[in-house]
Amino acid sequence: MSAKTETAPSAPQRMRPVVGHDNREWWDHINEGQLTIQKCKECGTLRHPPRPMCWKCQSLEAEHMPASGKGIVYSFVVIHKPVIPGYEYPLAVAVVELEEGTRIVSNVVGIEAGDVKIGMPVKVSIEAVDETLTLPLFRPAS
Amino acid sequence: MPTSIKDECAIVGIGQTEFSKFSGRSELQVTLECVEAAIADAGIERSDIDGMVTLSIDGSDEIAVMRGLGSQELKFFSRVPHGIGGAMSLVHQAVMAISSGMCKTVLGYRALNGCSGNQPKASAVGGPLSTDQVHWGWYNPYGFSDPTSWVAMFTQRYMHEYGATAESLAEIALTMRKHAVNNPNAMFYDKPITSEDYFNSPFIAEPLRFYDCCMEADGGAAFVITSTERAKDLPHAPAVVRGVAQGAAADQEVMTSFYRDSITHLPEYDLVAKQCYEQSGLSADDIDAAVLYDAFTSIVLYQLESFGFCKRGEAHDFVKGGTLGLDGRLPCNTNGGQLSEAHLQGINGITEAVRIIRGTSVNQPKKNDHVLATSGFGVPSSAMILGQSR
Amino acid sequence: MLTSIKDECAIVGIGMTEISKNSGRSELQLAAECVSAAIKDAGLKPHDIDGLTGFTLDHVDEIEVARTVGIPELKMMSRMPHGGGAPMSLVQQAVMAVSTGMCKAVVGYRAMNGRSGARYSEGVADGPETTDAISWGWYMPYGLLTPACWVAMHTQRYMHEYGATDEALAEIAVAQRDFASRNPNALFYGRPITMDDYYNAPYIVEPLKLYDCCIETDGGAAFVITSAERAKDLPHTPAMVRSAAQGAAFDQEVMTSFYRDCITTLPEYDLVAKQCYEQSGLGPDDLDAAIIYDAFTPIVLFQLESFGFCKHGEGHEWVKGGTLGPDGRLPTNTHGGLLSEGYIHGINGLAEGVRLIRGTSVNQPKKNIENVLVTSGASMPTSAIIIGK
Ligand SMILES: [Zn+2]
């Protein structure tokens, strides 16, 4: 019996988010299936992307509050080129304005890229895009 | 203490290499070639240079340039951040250094094998965890990792809010190309395009088409700047710096400032414009020609509005009917711009602005008392106003 | 147009985090904390700041700092190259911006997880084809990879030419540690060393021993500069900037300027010293204390000579007998220096320089301190300032 194991050539994968001190908690919540928004414990200001200090009151204390995941497409693009391995084209990327008021960038999926519109209601869908990466994606809200 | 640097300094020399898809030599060599040309053009000695400034992303350290020039000493050197936003920041640094007495004559340069070389990618990974990497990490996983797509995001919203259409973008693309067709140093010299070409070209990132986007290039450009006093003794008509400013505004990101209330104007451009006009005592009405940073067509609209040539949301109408052409209200990018001369991250905007002041552009506008030159979009940015020597 | 920036501007605020071997937080947070502290120390608010300057080596962009601490807009941004050579260039940048009317108040900062994150002692690595990478390529294959190696090369020749011994180096190492042992913010607080400790320590790169080399640390430090006029209304005694200069000299490399006729002096320091004295109208006799960049003990000697405290080749004699101590001719690095307080790339030294002017150093010399020299790193394009009352 041969001990040799065949490894399938690995499929190209999406680029990874960069996770560090200031955003680890946010990504931990995503991996648990929850979209959150960073909130200043001192003055309540919401901020995204997460950062270590509140720009309103300079507090270093923050917490992550669950977001409803509902929002609208504030702007979007349909990317044709360049084609980067790991993604399917045409690729729709949107700035989504969450109902809590913060914005987030992600893909709009579950719809033809060409049918995405500004103002369209969308809802977060936290999905495993490959074996080791979970992302908050957005789908049209029915 | 001076309250404004108005008229303290002047650009007295410019130099550049050819612009191409493949320079076939090192970035340092390209740098040294354009630097030598700028020093010769200024009519000064290499040893007169006692300050140097370049972009933080430039691959050629000033000490490597020094060695190339045989320089004995430098009293001033610095780097300005944010790539495309930095072109006019080079002038800003030089003017501050000279007018505060730190040094007498500054060389600014930027050279890159932007097409053939290994350019640092925004999506760079590895190395220590910088805020820059963390920043890109919010966008890369979604395949949102290319300048065209970032600019398209702003553009989509602009078109939506103001009812702008691709016609305005086509107008800009065709005007720049028309200028480049006359410019032997342009990558698109003698290669005109038509409106049909524009509309038939494929989308890169909707709503931006192929001809809305600049092309990466190899090449370099440099300039020499000194006090206006000293400039009087040098061969060329000095291009006097009336105003020069940098700006970063609230909630500024690099290319992805999507979290502000409005993304259809860029407050960093407003801030830069305000300072340029305050320093110079001029207004948009005084500007006879412009070199606006145009890596993409749509970003010209944002700048026309911030610099006060028209009201917010109206630039897409303002540009129609040849406004930016040689006979229009504001001859713009007479070298062909980043779109059609070459994408040199805006540094070729400095050389062209100086040519317009000297009256030596291949597409020389009739009036040239004051020229505005701007830098990149969506990043902390910079701009300057050049004028005639009085 | 100004002919000199003398006394146009003042350092009005300083801020630092703790110095440690593991900060446990991001470099952005360290930067935000020390910048915020410096602004507060200056008696200003974030919206009073309109310029930010830092290191090309910093991993924290100024726009991230601005957003994080709540600075709404920036009218000047710049990065100073060459690591240890940069710190006083930040002061020069701020002075240029304020004295030409570009900005009202500028903050300079440096924050680094220099111990728990990327360490300089790990050496230089491959990168894209920049002149910098090519330069390192001449040394890396031979294992000449770290700052200690490069400095040792200059030091070996210095000792050979001038008959210097490691006694002079020991004097510096022990003096700095003595200061640090009384500085609660120093990594070596409460931990003095003896001459015996110095001599018994192992070699790192001959002729440099363990205590000739600075420690790598985590931490952040920042300062605020505004006009002399405005400084009058702020809470602290302003540290007036008498001069601020940069210098790069012929055949300059970064850490490896081995190709000059002489490698036992560094002409970039001579150039910076000349400008500092010209701008300020002062000379070495007017300087009451100094913050000398001391990532390694021998580079202190090079600087003492270039700044004219003694002749070239005599620094190793001059430092003996407590010259740099609290009661000596030139109390130097009263915080403990990079050697013993911590390595925040010289910005921590700037903060100590300001404390000496304010009279608030933990090792405040008994004599009146009118003018203080603060320098930057050796064997690279460098910079220095003179600050005063
Ligand atoms: Zn808060």
Q: Residue C339: its pLDDT value, please?
A: 96
Give distance in angstroms: CA of B381 to centre of ligand 1: 28
| Extents of the domains making up chain B | 9-118+214-387
Does domain A68-142 fall under CATH 2.40.50? My reply is yes
DSSP string, C277-291: HHHHT--GGG--EEE
CA–CA separation, C151 and C172 (whole Å): 16
Confidence of residue B295 (pLDDT cuts 50, 70, 90): very high
Taking only the tens place, the pLDDT of each residue in B249-269 is 988 888 999 999 999 999 999
CATH architecture of B9-118+214-387: 3-Layer(aba) Sandwich (3.40)
Share of chain C above pLDDT 70, in %: 97
Confidence of residue C124 (pLDDT cuts 50, 70, 90): low
CA–CA separation, A48 and A58 (whole Å): 16
Amino acid at B378: G
Interface with C, mutate which of B67, B71, B77 (most C CBs under 10 A): B77
Place of tokens 């016609």: B167
Strand partners, A73: A96
- Tell me the two tokens of residue B276: 């340029």
Cβ of B78 within 8 Å of Cβ of C64? The answer is no
B352-361, B364-373, C249-258: least confidently modelled range: C249-258
What average pLDDT score do residues C237-247 get? Answer: 94
| Residues of chain A with a CB closer than 8 angstroms to some CB in chain B | 14-20, 22-23, 48-49, 74-82, 84, 86-87, 90-91, 93, 95, 102-103, 105-107, 118, 129, 133, 135
Q: Is residue C171 part of a domain?
A: no
Share of chain A above pLDDT 90, in %: 69
Using CB atoms, which chains have 3+ pairs under 8 A with B?
A: A, C
Q: Residue C114: its pLDDT value, please?
A: 86
Q: Residue C156: its pLDDT value, please?
A: 94
Q: Exposed, middle or buried: residue C248 (CB in 10 Å: 0-12, 13-18, 19+)? A: buried
Q: Residue B1: its pLDDT value, please?
A: 61
Q: Residue A22: its pLDDT value, please?
A: 86
Confidence of residue C382 (pLDDT cuts 50, 70, 90): very high
| Extents of the domains making up chain A | 18-66, 68-142
- Tell me the two tokens of residue B325: 């052409």
Range of the domain at C239: 9-118+215-388
Q: Bigger pLDDT: B21 or C160?
A: C160
What average pLDDT score do residues C38-59 get? Answer: 93
Q: Is residue C130 part of a domain?
A: no
What average pLDDT score do residues C283-289 get? Answer: 98
Cβ of C100 within 8 Å of Cβ of B267? The answer is no
Taking only the tens place, the pLDDT of each residue in A95-116 is 999 999 999 999 999 999 999 9
Confidence of residue B124 (pLDDT cuts 50, 70, 90): very low
Taking only the tens place, the pLDDT of each residue in C6-47 is 999 999 999 999 999 899 988 999 999 999 999 999 999 999
Q: Which of A16, A82, A105 sits opposite B144 (nearest CB)?
A: A105
Q: Residue B28: its pLDDT value, please?
A: 87
Q: Residue C129: its pLDDT value, please?
A: 65
> C340: closest CA among C182, C197, C149, C202?
C182
Interface with C, mutate which of B102, B113, B266, B379 (most C CBs under 10 A): B102
B26-35, B36-45, B123-132: least confidently modelled range: B123-132
pLDDT at A3 over 50: no
A68-82, B299-313, C284-298: least confidently modelled range: A68-82
Share of chain C above pLDDT 90, in %: 76
- Count of the separate structural domains present in chain C: 1
Average pLDDT of the residues of chain C: 92
Domain with C382 in it: what CATH number? 3.40.47.10
Q: Is residue C63 part of a domain?
A: yes
Q: Is the CB of residue B213 less than 8 Å from the CB of residue B296? A: yes
Cβ of C28 within 8 Å of Cβ of A60? The answer is no
From A96's Cα to the closest Cα of chain C, the distance in A is 21
Three-state SS at C55: strand
> B208: closest CA among B181, B172, B176, B179?
B172
Cβ of B146 within 8 Å of Cβ of A106? The answer is no
Count CA atoms within 13 Å of residue B125 on its CB side.
Answer: 10
Catalytic residues of C: 293, 343
DSSP string, B210-257: GGGB--B-EEEEEEEEEEHHHHTTSSSPPEEEEEEEEEB-TT--SS--
Give distance in angstroms: CA of B227 to centre of ligand 1: 47
Give distance in angstroms: CA of B264 to centre of ligand 1: 27
| Residues of chain A with a CB closer than 8 angstroms to some CB in chain C | 20-22, 51-56, 58, 60
Q: Residue B317: its pLDDT value, please?
A: 98
Give distance in angstroms: CA of C50 to centre of ligand 1: 21
Q: Residue C2: its pLDDT value, please?
A: 78
Q: Which residues of B touch C279 (CB under 8 A)?
A: 101
- Tell me the two tokens of residue A12: 């190209």
pLDDT at A2 over 50: no
